[in-house]
Amino acid sequence: MNLLLARHGESEWMVSGDEAGFNSRLTDAGRQQARLLGRWLAANQEGIDAIYASTLIRARETAEIVAAELAMPVKFDDGLREFEVRYWRDDGDYLPPYINGHAVAPADFNESYLPFKARVQGAVHRIFEAHPEGTVLVVAHGGTIGTIVRNLLEGHDFSVQTDATGLHGLRWTGSRWIVEFMNRREHLLGGIK
* Helical pair 57-70 and 28-44, crossing angle rounded to 10 deg: 40
What pTM value is reported for the model? 0.86
- Which pLDDT does position 176 carry in this prediction? 94
Residue 18's SS3 state is helix
**CA–CA distance, 7 with 143 (Å, rounded to integer):** 9
Domains identified in the chain and CATH numbers: 2-188 (3.40.50.1240)
**CA–CA distance, 192 with 11 (Å, rounded to integer):** 15
The mean pLDDT value of the chain amounts to: 86
Strand partners, 181: 169
Q: Are 9 and 29 in contact (CB under 8 A)?
A: yes
Is residue 55 scored above 70 in pLDDT? yes
Helix (H), strand (E) at residue 43:
helix 28-44
Q: Give 24-35 pLDDT, tens digit per residue.
A: 899 999 999 999
Residue 36: C-alpha distances to residues 44, 103, 121, 124, 138 (Å)? 12, 34, 29, 26, 16
Name the more confident of 96 and 38.
38
Q: Give 69-124 pLDDT, tens digit per residue.
A: 999 999 999 999 998 755 444 444 444 555 444 455 444 344 567 888 899 999 99
Compute the C-alpha angle 116/144/68, nearest 5°: 130
- Which pLDDT does position 108 carry in this prediction? 39
- Which pLDDT does position 97 carry in this prediction? 53
Name the more confident of 22 and 9.
9
**CA–CA distance, 96 with 68 (Å, rounded to integer):** 35
Q: Are 11 and 142 in contact (CB under 8 A)?
A: no
- DSSP at 79: G
- Which pLDDT does position 94 carry in this prediction? 45
**CA–CA distance, 97 with 117 (Å, rounded to integer):** 12
Is residue 137 scored above 90 in pLDDT? yes
Q: Are 95 and 155 in contact (CB under 8 A)?
A: no
Do strands 167-172 and 177-184 pair parallel, antiparallel, or not at all (unpaired)?
antiparallel
